[in-house]
Structure 1
Amino acid sequence: MQRIDVHCHAVAPGYRQYAIANGHERPDGMPALPAWSPEQHIALMEKLNIDKSILSITSPGTHLAPSPGDDDAARMTRRANVELSEICRSHPAHFAFFASLPLPDVEGSVAEIDHALDVLGAVGFAVLSNANGVYLGDEALGPVFAKLNARRAVVFIHPTTCNLLGDDGQVQPAKPLAGYPRPMMEFMFDETRAVANLLLSGTVARYPDITYIMSHCGCALPSLLDRIGGFAAITGGAANQGEELRRLLRERFYFDLAGFPFPNQIHGLLRILGEGGEEKLVYGTDYPFTPEKVAVTLSDQLEKGCEELFDDEQRHAVYSGNAQRLFGFPSKS
């Protein structure tokens, strides 16, 4: 069964040089920036029956040297987006891309949205759970979300290290269990934090024409949603918001299956989504940060798990049909 990979990454030469120059040769506590080339990626796609991969820049993103008034982030974000667009133009049958934004630079991000869509041909935007300590849903980012809403954009949310923003404007990465790479556990909590803030701040409701993709099978959100929605009763606020939050997730979010959704994690997400929840699932490999050998093993696990949960039509929707509908990609027989 053919697939569309909405969660995969490129580590192109220009971005690799930029990341290493800014001290991210071992991003987020991982052993190294992985090797990557279009040819290596296409070889994996052929092995896993992937028709199209939507490339993106992952954590730590493109705003790597934050300082007041520094426009280097906007320049480097533009360069990274151009680099991805050139890869896609060279391999149009295989690749599309999510553009990066130089968040929390509001002016630079608003300018990049139109350029990425109208000039570079991006199919949406990849944003990190926090940008140098400013979390998605922060009121300071309102103009960015207003612009994304006006463009009816698809926003792919990817986790990153929890960054603490001090009163002096300095950013300090949080490493509560420093002996483990942050993607193992902390990423899951950070994206959950960001999506909860998007929901609770009213951002999702206020900008109804943005479609979100939450990565890694909803991270820890399904397990915490009842607590998040019901906590208002404890603090003396409004009534339980749980059902409204569930409605917004069902209507406005897709969830990729990169990582380890099987055998257990998927069930919590499907309980949240309810009947027809498979229509909100999309396929992802997280390659190359998930190495090829592991990606193949996870693909086998996903295949087995999906066969137990879904019929042929539902599996087709999960593997490719939902992404075709979301991005307007042509259907392949």
Structure 2
Amino acid sequence: MPTSDLVDVHAHVLPDWYVDAAKAAGHTVPDAMPGWPDWSVDAHLAMMDQVGITQSIVSISSPGVHFGDDDAGTALAVEVNDFMAGLHTAHTDRFGFFAALPLPDVDGAIAEARRTAGVPGRAGVGIESNGHGTYLGDPSLEPLWQELSAQRAVVFIHPTAPPAFDPALVGFPAPLLEYLFDTTRTIVHLATAGVLVRHPDIRFVVPHCGAVLPSMISRVELFRAAGMISGEGDLGWERLWFDLAGAPLPDQLGAFTRRFGADHLLYGSDFCFTPAGAVDMLAAMLDQGWPEEHGEWRKVVGANATNLFKDALHPAR
């Protein structure tokens, strides 16, 4: 097992009762993927030991906890968050969690953010790239940003299918392409709405090595300069944090580091939606192909995680 203080900020729990609730709400498969993966605590810990992950900050993946009904979404968020808090209690040095928020129910999201704020193991909150078509720069979310700013919260953004996604028309499951574009869409929405600058105490974590954001920023700035979109002054791009989930090598990482460097880069496995064998393979690719000018990747992302979370996490030593 490789030795490092590697913190995995993009990893998912998938208890059977959550899958049952999602299926009952019509999500028979997650975003047109072939099926729901298996997950267990023992399998998660075994993957961590194999890859050399000290601690996983777990979250719920797409489609989140809000399936169309506010009350049911709040109840499922409470159940999910209490489960993840219990996982931390049972394995204090191995698991933290991002609390699920039932967006687009803003009041319910604020209530759950407050309820979980002092819960041991909470490293921040997790939200989807859109809540039934409400993207993260929408003015309706401003009360939530005010609350999370007061908490100085880390906000982990996870992609979900865009509104009206139809795999029969697209031909692919949403995670292949739509996740990357929906992530980029919502981050640009956040930035041009001024949220990143207005709430500098919120630390937003963008998944999948920035998705396609690094190659799109110059286009956004061009449209902004031409007066075709809103946004004034510094949009706050440099305040963002990013994870390495997905397939950053051999192509994506170079474009990312040219634009953002490596100071805000974190590790992400995307387990259990990425199988343990693939997680191990991707980590080995980073071991072999990480750009040498940025230092040893495990040390870099480990130090970055320590910097981001500070006292929120207590990895085993």
TM-score, L = length of structure 1: 0.88
Q: 5 Å matches for 1:161-310?
A: 161-163=161-163, 172-175=164-167, 177-235=169-227, 244-245=234-235, 248-250=236-238, 252-273=239-260, 277-306=261-290, 308-310=292-294
CA RMSD of aligned residues (A): 2.0
Taking the aligned partners of 1:76 and 1:332, their CA distance within structure 2 comes to 30
Partner of 1:25, secondary structure, is: coil
AA at the equivalent of 2:32: G
Tell me the CA shift for residue 331 of structure 1: 6.7
Taking the aligned partners of 1:184 and 1:293, their CA distance within structure 2 comes to 19
Taking the aligned partners of 2:167 and 2:82, their CA distance within structure 1 comes to 33
Tell me the CA shift for residue 179 of structure 1: 2.1
Residue pair 2:92, 2:121 contacting (<8 A) in 1 also: no
Partner of 1:4, secondary structure, is: strand
Residue pair 1:215, 1:256 contacting (<8 A) in 2 also: yes
Which residue of structure 1 aligns with residue 117 of structure 2?
117
Distance verdict in 2 for CA 1:19–1:120, change over 3 Å: farther
Deviations 1:43-98 (A, max 9, x none): 0001001100000001000001x14xx41111111111111111121111211100
Find out whether 1:14 has 2:17 as its counterpart: yes
Q: Of residues 56, 59, 68 in structure 1, which corresponds to 2:59?
A: 56
User: Which residues of structure 1 form unaligned runs of 5+?
Assistant: 164-171
Aligned pair count? 312
Taking the aligned partners of 2:87 and 2:57, their CA distance within structure 1 comes to 11
Which residue of structure 2 aligns with residue 325 of structure 1?
307
Tell me the CA shift for residue 34 of structure 1: 0.6
Residue pair 2:129, 2:135 contacting (<8 A) in 1 also: yes
Residue pair 2:93, 2:314 contacting (<8 A) in 1 also: no
Which residue of structure 1 aligns with residue 74 of structure 2?
74
Tell me the CA shift for residue 198 of structure 1: 0.2
Which residue of structure 2 aligns with residue 93 of structure 1?
93
Distance verdict in 2 for CA 1:97–1:222, change over 3 Å: same
Taking the aligned partners of 1:285 and 1:315, their CA distance within structure 2 comes to 13
Residue pair 1:162, 1:174 contacting (<8 A) in 2 also: no
Deviations 1:99-135 (A, max 9, x none): 0101010111111111112246411011110011100
Distance verdict in 2 for CA 1:238–1:154, change over 3 Å: closer
Find out whether 1:83 has 2:79 as its counterpart: no
Which stretch shifts more, 1-10 or 94-103? 1-10
Partner of 1:113, secondary structure, is: helix
Deviations 1:271-318 (A, max 9, x none): 222xxx222111110001011121111111111122644324x64022
Residue pair 2:207, 2:243 contacting (<8 A) in 1 also: yes
Taking the aligned partners of 1:192 and 1:133, their CA distance within structure 2 comes to 14
User: Which residues of structure 2 form unaligned runs of 5+?
Assistant: none
Residue pair 2:94, 2:315 contacting (<8 A) in 1 also: no
Distance verdict in 2 for CA 1:278–1:322, change over 3 Å: same
Tell me the CA shift for residue 238 of structure 1: 7.7
Which stretch shifts more, 154-163 or 14-23? 14-23
